Amino acid sequence: MERSGVINIYKEAGYTSHDVVAKLRGILKQKKIGHTGTLDPQAQGVLPVCLGKGTKLCDLLADHDKEYEAVLRLGITTDTQDMEGNVLQESSVQVSEKEVRTCILSFQGEQMQVPPMYSALKVNGKKLYELAREGKVVERKARPVTFHKIEVLWMELPKVKIRVQCSKGTYIRTLCNDIGEKLGCGGCMEELLRTRVERFALEDAVKLDEVQKAMEEGTVDSLIFPVDRIFDQYPTAKTTTQGDLLVHNGNRLFSELLQEEPEAESGYVRVYDSEDTFIGLFEKKTDQLVPVKMFYRKEN
């Protein structure tokens, strides 16, 4: 049986995001599984994993804002911008706690960030980390990112723990590097914990061995977040039996084929067929609903 939805995995240190997917394929006995954004092997925390029809959500969830807690280690610069890399420079930390706090908070808001060489971004079809391992450094264009909020949780120089709420495509390693550079003593990331992706929070995340246990006990479905609930901020519509055939084939819907429809004149709508099966996300335009993202698949 193929399961569909999202499971909030707590990725432990030592696993790559691909490792998690591979292990879940073995545990759940299904192939169609995908993750929603890479976490470095030594990083821990929230990794929403999409199952079955839910794999269509991967890009959508990857685009959402995220929250992290990180330990910044001042006085050390490495080639990977974290403590896993080769040390390029060590410096004494001669800055005050006040200077460090002021510098860190200055990164709040919109920033231009240069992606690190040790990242999965591609240049001319090759991943940057592959080029870095060959000893090559290529020019990377700075990209706009947003740090919605940065908090200093504790400070025991040369270490500082921060909480960061940021936009997609943000590298916390690079933030740590940039803070150290601005302070003039260098810096890198010592620890990273992802605490939230969209609605998926750390306190609700489950480890792989917990999924394995739930599978053995027959309770694994209780860990899976249904696909339609990702869109629960939108109103619902329900088709008539005559509308089922059209909607099952991904066609647009007119009002006369709906037994329930939202009052709003425009906007996104969750559409269900007459049997209450979730079909997908549609957009209401005047007198019709137009498909945006379909999740219905006819069972053989």
Region 281-299 average pLDDT: 87
The proportion of the chain whose per-residue pLDDT surpasses 70, expressed as a percent, equals: 99
pLDDT at 130: 72
Q: What is the pLDDT of residue 299?
A: 64
Residue 49 vs residue 1, higher pLDDT? 49
Residue 173's pLDDT is 94
Give 49-98 pLDDT, tens digit per residue. 999 999 998 888 878 899 999 999 999 999 999 999 899 999 999 999 99
- Return the exposure string of 228-261: e unless at least 16 CB atoms fall within 10 Å of the residue's CB, then b: bebbeebbbbbbbeebbebbbeeeebeeebbeeb
pLDDT averaged over the chain?
A: 91
- The single-letter code of the amino acid at 38 is T
Q: How far apart are the first and last CA of the chain?
A: 12
Q: Are strands 44-51 and 187-197 parallel, antiparallel or unpaired?
A: parallel
- Among the ranges given (6-10, 32-36, 132-136), the one the predictor scored with the smallest mean pLDDT: 132-136
Q: Domains in the chain, please, with CATH?
A: 5-64+200-227 (3.30.2350.10), 66-189 (3.30.2350.10), 233-294 (2.30.130.10)
pTM metric for this prediction: 0.89
Instruction: Render pLDDT for 206-259 as a digit per residue (tens, 0 to 9).
Output: 999 999 999 999 999 999 999 999 999 999 999 999 999 999 988 998 888 888
Q: Is 40 a catalytic residue?
A: yes
pLDDT at 32 over 60: yes
Q: What is the pLDDT of residues 139-198, one digit of tens each?
A: 788 999 999 999 999 999 999 999 999 998 899 999 999 999 999 999 999 999 999 999
More reliable by pLDDT, 130 or 240: 240
- Res. 300: pLDDT tops 60: no
In this predicted structure, which of 12-16, 41-45, 101-105, 128-132 has the lowest mean pLDDT? 128-132
